[in-house]
Chains A and B, each alone.
Chain A
Amino acid sequence: MLRVARGLLAAAGFALVTSSGWAREDVESRAVEKKASMAVPGAIGVSRRPQYGPCPELELSGAAQHEIQPVEISGPDGMEVAIETAAGWSPLKAAPLRIGLVVGRPYRLRLGGTAIEDGQELFPSICVCAKLATPAGTAWRFPVEIQIDPSDISEAINGGHVQRVIYAPHDCGRPDIMPASWFDASPGDDCFEVAATLGDPLAEILIGNRLPAPGVVP
């Protein structure tokens, strides 16, 4: 009888101690589920594409300067733009912002100013996909023009995740069929696929983050 009681006592102790691990795992799984269903607005895009960090041009030598493509970021009146580079966050300046970016390397942006309601800020990421074949000496005369529409900002402020792919149309001799030179992709269509059908994708901008990444507060 005493042996049975000791055996039961040992089994109970085993179950008690091991259940602590299960409990933690269970709590964490529920936390993940809760996070998935109650994520803050704008968090959808976080899992879509990794938000890369800055300072890629720091690793460039002089021979790699050809990888830099000038871009010009413009937006509605009152919008201010800052970018995080190897030198840190640039001060917020009124758009348009013209800067050279390394092709294929994403950068963080910071949008502020009176164009965004209630003094809020957005932290988009931008990546240049290709370099323009400009005539010699005219690279800065022809930057990739990235136009942020006012509706992009309002959608991001309201919790949406905006993906905009800038491309150069194949048929350069014709004016754009769209008066605003941009359009919304159909539901289910990939922006890159549509852009590659119509031209050469040059850059991508993702707008949705309303908070900077941890540790990179400007």
Chain B
Amino acid sequence: MKNARSDRQRSRWLRAVVIITAAIILASCRSLTTPLSLPAVSLLPAAMGPNRVDEIAVQVVGCEQPCPPLLRQPLHSQTSGRPVLCRPLLQDNQPCRSCQPTDGSACQSATGMLLAREIPVAGPYLVCDGGDCLALAQPTGASGLKNLHAGDTVARYHADDFGPDVHDVKVAISNRACVYAPRFASVRHITRPHEEAAPVGIKGLSLDTVTELGVRRQPVWGSTQRIAPEAARKALPGVAIEERLSPMAVDQNAFPKEASGENRAVARVADERPMLTKRKQSPLLQVGFEVPMAWTCVRGAQVIVMGRTAEVIAADRGTATLRIEEQGRAELTLCKQVGSDTARIGEELDFTIYLLNSGDRPLRDVVLVDALPARLELIPQSAAANLSAEFSTEKGDDGSVVLKWRFESPLAAGEGGFVRFRTLVH
């Protein structure tokens, strides 16, 4: 009887010890795992949040400086095939050079990622002058030209004899010369600390400090109230944070009504894009520097003109120009050249426009005009010509600066000349 009671008591104590031990183990698990799991979750980028990514601590060895603390893209474990986030585990006074997981599996090296990825390329950004963009230039008056836009380089002329088309004014268009001249701009956004937006008004009326002082506009999007919950509670206890938006925050959720013509800045800018794209097309179609990018492999060509075969004078390589000329032509050829293929902002660019009477009749009243692109500014007193010409500047149809040479003497057949001027790149 006594032994049975002592056995029962022993079993009760044993049960109590087991319960207490289990409780201690349970409590230790709760207290230890919580702080370890917090930084692991917070270190994950937002893009990886919904995905299940196993995190493996990575030992970094051999580099004098720490490697990136977190790679942007998840790597794949070679053992499990599942996505693995390689995070270097930095140790004191331990140099590191490469990332290696500590669990025996190998992460794909960052070098492989770098070599495999495609590098986005921007540009080229060209400033072009020459040709006749947008509406075609048309002669007007005795020596004028209309439909001149930035970048146009044209000349008007007519024959100087007694032919049937002696009163027909013709327009010659030059080639288009492009220069690589990028320029940079930037967009800035400032997130100011929430303390600036703390309410200072009377209870129940929240005021924005900066707005009240009228010093500068305080952005209210997103971060004004949510970042400082504790400070907000202290400032106005008992009132929900959502109910005390600042005066400027009233319309932060009111999106512009596009039906009534309200657009945000981005939308307004987007409306201008078709026009910009149209302007962008013309230079890009004529991208290229004077060095040819590729040669064709034509070994020979046979030209038959009026039933007669020309003799082959070269069979290696070269450039052949075939001109079919008519008798009694009144023709002016313009050729524009720029002094450099590249230019930085603030540098000078010099342009030369050659003109040649490529017909077999004399030309008179030759007027050459060049509407400068907006990024080019004429350097005063830099315009010159080897023929006697009257130089002047005027405004084009789009407000651009138009350089105008009016040649005083007629151009005989085969005669040519040139004009030069220097510009400053903006």
Instruction: Spell out A's residues near B (CB within 8 Å).
Output: 3, 6, 9-10, 13-14, 17-22, 24-25, 28, 32-34, 36-38, 41-42, 44-45, 48, 50-56, 58-61, 63-64, 66-67, 84-88, 102-106, 129-135, 138, 141-142, 144-147, 149, 152, 155, 158-176, 178, 181-191, 193-195, 197-200, 202, 208, 215-216
Q: Give chain A residues whose Cβ lies under 8 Å from the Cβ of B231.
A: 37
Q: Give chain B residues whose Cβ lies under 8 Å from the Cβ of A163.
A: 188-191
Contact of A131 among B111, B122, B127, B128 (CB under 8 A): B122
Provided the pairs A13-B20, A160-B191 are in contact, do residues A170 and B276 lie with their beta carbons within 8 angstroms? yes
The yes or no answer to B199 lying at the interface (CB within 8 A) is no
Interchain CA distance A145-B389 in the complex, whole Å: 42
Q: Give chain A residues whose Cβ lies under 8 Å from the Cβ of B219.
A: 187
25 CB < 8 A contacts A-B: A21-B27, A25-B30, A52-B68, A52-B70, A60-B114, A64-B115, A67-B119, A85-B65, A106-B68, A131-B122, A133-B121, A133-B123, A134-B124, A141-B342, A145-B184, A162-B189, A172-B127, A174-B375, A181-B183, A182-B186, A182-B188, A188-B252, A191-B188, A198-B269, A215-B90
Instruction: Spell out B's residues near A (CB within 8 Å).
Output: 12, 16, 19-20, 23-24, 26-31, 34-35, 38, 45, 63-70, 72, 90, 97-98, 109-111, 114-115, 117, 119-128, 150-151, 180-193, 195, 219-223, 227-231, 252, 264-266, 269-270, 273, 276-277, 279-280, 283, 289, 341-342, 344, 373-375, 426
The residue in B16, B115, B122 that gathers the most chain A C-beta atoms within 10 A of its C-beta is: B122
Interchain CA distance A182-B183 in the complex, whole Å: 12
Q: Distance (Å) between the CB of A182 and the closest chain B CB?
A: 4
Provided the pairs A52-B70, A59-B111 are in contact, do residues A138 and B19 lie with their beta carbons within 8 angstroms? no
Q: Distance (Å) between the CB of B377 and the closest chain A CB?
A: 9
Question: Chain A interface secondary structure, helix, strand, loop or mixed?
Answer: mixed
Q: Give chain A residues whose Cβ lies under 8 Å from the Cβ of B227.
A: 36-37, 44
Provided the pairs A10-B20, A21-B30, A38-B230 are in contact, do residues A58 and B90 lie with their beta carbons within 8 angstroms? no
Interchain CA distance A173-B34 in the complex, whole Å: 59
CB closest chain-B residue, reference A30: B230
Q: Distance (Å) between the CB of A107 and the closest chain B CB?
A: 10
Interchain CA distance A102-B23 in the complex, whole Å: 54
Q: Give chain B residues whose Cβ lies under 8 Å from the Cβ of A67.
A: 114, 119
A167-B117 in contact (CB<8A) = no
B373-A88 in contact (CB<8A) = no
B229-A36 in contact (CB<8A) = yes
